[in-house]
Amino acid sequence: MKNIITVSGIRPDFIRMSEIFKKLDSHDEINHTLIHTGQHYDKLLSDIFFEDLNIRRPDYNLNIGSNGKTHYEQQAELGPKIINLIKSKNLNPDLILFLGDSNSVLASIPLKKEGYRIAHIEACMRSYDDRMLEEINRRACDHVSDLLFAYHDNYKIKGIKEGIHESKIHVVGNTIVEPLKNIFDLNYSGKQEHIILDIHRPENFNHKDRLKSIIEFSKECSDKYSKPIVMLEFNRTMIKLKEFDISLKKIETSPLMGYKKFIRLMQDSLFIISDSGTAQEEPALLNKPVVVPRDFTERPESMENNCSMLYNLNNKSKIFEWIESWERCNSDWLGIGNTSDKIVDIINEK
């Protein structure tokens, strides 16, 4: 019997890991312990996704995100908490599995130093933009991992170029496909009632001119396509809008919502404006175009398959031309929806 620990802490991790949790739980030769770091501690960013995706409750919650702690405070707290938990509960893991690039994956570093084996899903994804805290996190986790699960062959190539041994990297496809296919009718074309605005990255909301330009572009889209803008109310973004005195006139705001409700919001949109990484993947499966207000993307496949386009303030006309000529994107680059089986099989073999 193998003891496997999964460590997750934010909304996208729960979604992407949902089928893997279930497969680990049902495997006859695996004892699975689920640890929630608590990086996302609000019900709308954590608990509700367990309900929507029918995921069991975590075995332990470390609550590192409470009271608005900074990223470095979370990192400092997480290492000792997770190590003390593993030792005090005699969990004796054969492997500790992380996904993604949140602050939670940085627990991999002290755990590796303690001698534990580490695995990382979403491995070797790169934007090469060090302004992104996520870029630093994913790189660090990759380089202490014993098993790396990459979405694409080109991610594996990037990892090898960084000196990660080829034998450690397994190309398995994208974990986002299964939860979407299992829960939603991907043939539903939607009502095209609105445009979604989703801005929550520090490289956008921390800079007044950049944030203002995104808001003004969104208003211009609303006028041009006669659709209301529905902006998600991420707390840090809303604080900065108020601090910078940026008006949201013509833009409707919406509280954060559960996964099912959010996907239906996407399905009923004309297109999405988002700086999220996940929002370059889910809309591809829903056949919705995405304008990405970033300078770089760790998902170039989305652009190559006509699913998204990077936002450039100096070339808005090109974005409008792309939106108006857009017909559909190719989502084959995300895989066929058997990723969780591949990952669990490899974990059991290794």
200 is known as an active-site residue: yes
* Judgement on whether residues 327 and 204 belong to the same structural domain of the protein: yes
* Judgement on whether residues 202 and 116 belong to the same structural domain of the protein: no
* Judgement on whether residues 8 and 76 belong to the same structural domain of the protein: yes
Q: Which amino acid makes up residue 261?
A: K
Check whether 44 has a pLDDT greater than 60: no
- HSE at residue 348, side-chain half, CA atoms within 13 A, is 18
* Judgement on whether residues 9 and 151 belong to the same structural domain of the protein: yes
* Mean pLDDT on 65-94: 87
Domain of 126, CATH number, reads 3.40.50.2000
Instruction: Print the domain residue range for 59.
Output: 2-174+335-349
pLDDT digits (tens, 9 = 90+) for 157-184: 999 999 999 999 999 999 999 999 988 8
Active-site residue (options: 152, 170, 200, 207): 200
* Judgement on whether residues 22 and 170 belong to the same structural domain of the protein: yes
pTM strictly above 0.85: yes
* Judgement on whether residues 245 and 315 belong to the same structural domain of the protein: yes
* Judgement on whether residues 205 and 115 belong to the same structural domain of the protein: no
pLDDT digits (tens, 9 = 90+) for 80-112: 999 999 999 999 999 999 999 988 999 999 999
- What whole-number distance in Å separates Cα of residue 48 and Cα of residue 15? 11
Percent with pLDDT over 70 in the chain: 96
Q: What region does 291 belong to: left with phi over 0, alpha with psi -120 to 50, or beta?
A: beta
* Judgement on whether residues 133 and 243 belong to the same structural domain of the protein: no
pLDDT digits (tens, 9 = 90+) for 323-347: 999 988 999 999 999 999 999 999 9
In terms of Cβ atoms closer than 10 Å to its own Cβ (0-12, 13-18, 19+), residue 219 is middle
Check whether 141 has a pLDDT greater than 90: yes
* Judgement on whether residues 239 and 308 belong to the same structural domain of the protein: yes
Number of domains in the chain: 2
- What whole-number distance in Å separates Cα of residue 29 and Cα of residue 32? 10
Token pair recorded at residue 343: 């990952």
Residue 230: its pLDDT value, please? 98
* Judgement on whether residues 209 and 162 belong to the same structural domain of the protein: no
* Judgement on whether residues 169 and 224 belong to the same structural domain of the protein: no
* Judgement on whether residues 69 and 158 belong to the same structural domain of the protein: yes
Residue 5: its pLDDT value, please? 98
Smallest CA-to-CA distance from 299 within 138, 110, 104 is with: 138
